[in-house]
């Protein structure tokens, strides 16, 4: 009986106008996103080759992450060119620039955005009338008049509806993966393909969350118009309101200095030490050591506050499945907050290796400098940390919403 209901749901869905719209939307958006982000990645790689430090340059530069094509995240911040200057100061390279200024005005159209916003809405619209719509048509009463139990019926509706939803998505994903494979500028390792598979898996779980939410709303209402309004309301809250409000609330709880304030503090350290050298006759090496030490203390305090802000913001915003999915996807792609913090930590370690070299008359460090090498966080380390928590949360949200729809349908009035 279950298989019969599943087949019925799939046949009804694939012959409906909604399926045509969703498959067209999924294929067009995902393929367009892939082409745009592939071109963006090629431009950033060209920019990396231009900015790549020559031998014996005290510069730390990280190449773009290949999977930033699918989830760009903080990859431009991670890939900044950091120069170590006289006195142990770390500054962003003067030649650094964004290769696509349009992304400053508009949201980056990567696959993460398409799945998080567009496909979640498609999932809701695909499920909001699964129960309320059939009640209005009168087919729900006919189905239950036969030897079909409510648990079997709601389970069949979920399975059949989700399979219908995920088919166009998987089709578009396969085509996108084929484009990436055939691109001469892309050379994904086996680890990258594993990351990509995890990203696709999380995307399907995320879409299942919103499909289950839509089904639970349908089981709690008796009119399709009411179900549609509630679906759009919850979609707006979960996608936009909670993530943004969570970040705002976290900033109210953690006092973190602005970039301008940080720069003023660093300038104050320099001025103070220079005056002390003039007035007290301090040795130049001692002055530089003091400047480097105080700058390190300043940055350590900033990083401590920033990590506390990130931790609190994550815990608040993960109430939304959209935030949990974003954290998981960017971490897996090597463009997330954890990757950015590791990159800054490695740059600081590199600075500590070379900051006390001699300088020329222009204040530039001289001598032989080791090449800065960066290793991204491994999959094993990611999955052993809080990245897995985000995936578990998506599964929990899915179970909760399906349970709500299941219980709601058992008590549903079909009259």
pLDDT digits (tens, 9 = 90+) for 345-374: 898 888 888 877 777 666 677 777 888 889
Instruction: Report the domain count for the chain.
Output: 1
Q: What average pLDDT does the structure give for the chain?
A: 85
Residue scoring higher pLDDT (256 or 318):
318
Instruction: List pLDDT tens digits, range 147-162.
Output: 778 888 899 999 999 9
Q: Is the pLDDT of residue 114 over 80?
A: yes
- Strand, coil or helix: 407: helix
Instruction: List pLDDT tens digits, range 278-312.
Output: 566 566 666 677 777 777 788 888 888 888 888 89
Average of per-residue pLDDT across 98-110 = 65
Q: pLDDT value at position 281? A: 59
User: Which DSSP symbol is given to 89?
Assistant: E
Interhelix angle 190-220/150-182, nearest 10 degrees: 150
Q: Which distant-in-sequence residues (6+ apart) come within 8 Å of 328 by Cβ?
A: 202, 387, 390, 391, 394
Residue 415 in domain: no
Q: What is the pTM of this model?
A: 0.90
Average of per-residue pLDDT across 33-37 = 91
Q: Which distant-in-sequence residues (6+ apart) come within 8 Å of 209 by Cβ?
A: 120, 321, 394, 397, 398, 401
Q: Measured between alpha carbons, how far is 225 from 248 in angstroms, rounded to an integer?
A: 33
Residue scoring higher pLDDT (335 or 411):
335
Residue 207 in domain: yes
Q: Is the pLDDT of residue 146 over 80?
A: no
Pull the structure tokens for residue 106.
């508009």
Confidence at 68, pLDDT banded by 50, 70, 90: very high
Residue 363 in domain: no
Q: pLDDT value at position 104? A: 59
Share of the chain above pLDDT 90, in %: 38
Average of per-residue pLDDT across 112-118 = 94
Q: pLDDT value at position 284? A: 60
Distances (CA, A) of 314 to 48, 208, 286, 328: 31, 22, 42, 11
Residue 304 parent element (H or E): helix 284-317
Average of per-residue pLDDT across 120-143 = 84
- Which domain covers residue 195, as residue numbers? 2-357+368-410
Q: pLDDT value at position 361? A: 62
């Amino acid at each position: 009986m279950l298989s019969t209901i599943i087949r019925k749901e799939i046949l009804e869905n694939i012959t409906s106008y909604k399926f045509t719209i969703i498959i067209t939307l999924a294929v067009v958006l995902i393929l367009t996103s892939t082409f745009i982000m592939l071109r963006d990645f090629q431009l950033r790689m060209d920019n990396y080759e231009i900015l790549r430090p020559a031998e014996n340059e005290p510069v730390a530069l990280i190449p773009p992450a290949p999977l930033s094509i699918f989830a760009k995240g903080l990859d431009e911040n991670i890939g900044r060119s950091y120069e170590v200057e006289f006195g142990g100061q770390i500054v962003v390279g003067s030649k650094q620039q964004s290769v696509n200024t349009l992304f400053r005005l508009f949201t980056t159209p990567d696959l993460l955005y398409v799945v998080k916003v567009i496909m979640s809405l498609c999932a809701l619209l695909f499920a909001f009338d699964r129960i309320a719509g059939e009640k209005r048509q009168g087919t729900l009463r006919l189905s239950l008049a036969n030897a079909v139990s409510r648990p079997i019926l709601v389970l069949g509706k979920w399975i059949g509806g989700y399979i219908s939803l995920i088919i166009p998505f998987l089709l578009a994903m396969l085509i996108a993966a084929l484009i990436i494979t055939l691109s001469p500028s892309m050379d994904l390792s086996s680890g990258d393909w594993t990351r990509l598979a995890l990203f696709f898996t999380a995307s399907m779980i995320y879409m299942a969350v919103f499909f289950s939410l839509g089904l639970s709303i349908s089981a709690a209402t008796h009119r399709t118009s009411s179900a549609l309004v509630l679906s759009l309301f919850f979609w707006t809250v979960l996608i936009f309101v909670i993530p943004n409000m969570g970040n705002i609330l976290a900033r109210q709880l953690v006092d973190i200095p602005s970039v301008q304030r940080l720069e003023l503090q660093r300038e104050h350290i320099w001025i103070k030490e220079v005056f002390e050298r003039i007035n007290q006759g301090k040795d130049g090496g001692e002055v530089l050591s003091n400047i480097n030490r105080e700058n390190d203390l300043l940055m350590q305090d900033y990083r401590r506050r920033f990590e506390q802000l990130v931790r609190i913001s994550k815990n608040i915003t993960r109430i939304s499945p959209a935030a949990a999915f974003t954290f998981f996807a960017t971490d897996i792609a090597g463009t997330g907050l954890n990757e950015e913090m590791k990159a800054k930590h490695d740059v600081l370690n590199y600075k500590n290796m070379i900051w006390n070299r001699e300088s020329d008359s222009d204040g530039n460090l001289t001598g032989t400098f080791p090449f800065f090498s960066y290793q991204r966080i491994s999959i094993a380390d990611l999955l052993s940390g809080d990245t897995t928590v985000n995936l578990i949360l998506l599964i929990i949200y899915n179970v909760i919403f399906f349970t709500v729809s299941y219980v709601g349908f058992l008590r549903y009035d079909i009259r």
